[in-house]
Amino acid sequence: MSAATIWVVDLALSERQLDRCAAILDPSERDRAGRFLRPADRARYLASHAALRLILGEETGTAPVGIRLAAGMSGKPALACAASEPVEFNLSHSGRRALIGIARGAAVGVDVEAIRPLPDALRIARAHFAADEAAGLAALPPRAIEAAFFSLWTRKEAVVKALGTGLALPLDRFSVSLPPLPARLLRMAEPGPWTLADIEAGPGHAATLALRAPDAAICRRTLPVDWPDRLG
């Protein structure tokens, strides 16, 4: 049976901890961090990329600073030195959280979204989601629509992130189950079994992990609060 680990990371760090994070990133990551206009976006980027390096370092027996990343198919980040059974991973960050999915031998995608007011939710769903998804959302009580929209969004985005396609795969080409039903892929032209799992990412966040494998076991873990001290 396939398995995946989902790491949930709290990104609220002190300035000192953010400096530790910046110190172990590679020049291209530091360059990108320096181009964010809003300090909160810069901090989220620094912390989530440092956490990714820490976790990939433990997975591969490498120091976080020694992790080499490359753009794989369609730009999906991958480890530059692939082993015989490569470590598959995917990162997502929003609000106070980063999610990092890790698997071996199966493509993994993760998505987390901070739930926020979205008066246009039904219009966006009608324009971009599958017809059954948009109709299901519209049938919900009005007060349930925003949270359901973000859950649905993360379910769909986790799938396209596992595939590595991003928006190259139109989002109406496949459909997923609608909350409050558990996460499940219902219809997709591309063959092959999938496991989708709702992930508890904390109050005000919706999150999903998608793995291109059947009936996978999903293990949820959190980094300890002092994780930046472990960056070496």
Ligand X SMILES: CC(C)(COP(=O)(O)OP(=O)(O)OC[C@H]1O[C@@H](n2cnc3c(N)ncnc32)[C@H](O)[C@@H]1OP(=O)(O)O)[C@@H](O)C(=O)NCCC(=O)NCCS
Q: Identify which of residues 165 and 222 has a Cβ nearer to ligand X in the complex.
A: 165
For 149, the token pair is: 């929209």
Find the distance separating the first CA and the last CA of the chain, reported in whole Å: 34
Angle among Cα 218, 223, 226 to the nearest 5 degrees reads: 175
Q: Is 171 in the site for ligand X (CB under 6 A)?
A: yes
Crossing angle between the packed helical segments 121-128 and 142-163, to the nearest 10 degrees: 40
E-only strand ranges, the chain: 3-10, 69-71, 77-79, 87-94, 97-104, 108-114, 174-176, 185-188, 195-198, 205-211, 217-222
For 128, the token pair is: 């971009």
Q: Specify the stretch interacting with ligand X by CB under 6 A; choose among 33-41, 84-92, 191-199, 207-215.
A: 84-92
Binder among 57, 164, 179, 228 for ligand X (CB under 6 A): 164
Binder among 166, 180, 192, 232 for ligand X (CB under 6 A): 166
Question: Which sign, positive or negative, has the C-alpha torsion 5, 43, 76, 148?
Answer: positive
For 30, the token pair is: 């530091």
Window 28-67: contact mask with ligand X (x via CB under 6 A)? -----------------x----------------------
Window 184-213: contact mask with ligand X (x via CB under 6 A)? ------------------------------
Q: Specify the stretch interacting with ligand X by CB under 6 A; choose among 10-18, 19-27, 73-81, 196-204.
A: 73-81
User: How many of the other CB atoms lie within 10 Å of CB of 69?
Assistant: 17
Q: Is 91 in the site for ligand X (CB under 6 A)?
A: yes
Q: Kindly determine how many residues on this chain lie close enough to bind ligand X according to the rule CB under 6 A.
A: 20
Q: Identify which of residues 166 and 232 has a Cβ nearer to ligand X in the complex.
A: 166
Binder among 34, 58, 74, 131 for ligand X (CB under 6 A): 74
Binder among 46, 55, 78, 93 for ligand X (CB under 6 A): 93
Q: Is 17 in the site for ligand X (CB under 6 A)?
A: no
For residues 195 and 215, give the distance between their C-alpha atoms in angstroms, rounded to a whole number.
6
Q: Identify which of residues 66 and 72 has a Cβ nearer to ligand X in the complex.
A: 72
* Three-state SS at 98: strand
For residues 143 and 130, give the distance between their C-alpha atoms in angstroms, rounded to a whole number.
22
Q: Identify which of residues 1 and 167 has a Cβ nearer to ligand X in the complex.
A: 167
Using DSSP bridges, classify how beta strands 108-114 and 97-104 pair: parallel, antiparallel or unpaired.
unpaired
Q: Specify the stretch interacting with ligand X by CB under 6 A; choose among 60-68, 71-79, 133-141, 200-208.
A: 71-79
Nearest residue to ligand X, by Cβ distance, number only: 166
Question: Which sign, positive or negative, has the C-alpha torsion 197, 201, 207, 210?
Answer: negative
In the complex, which residues of this chain contact ligand X (CB under 6 A)? 45, 74-77, 90-94, 111, 153, 156-157, 160-161, 164, 166-167, 171
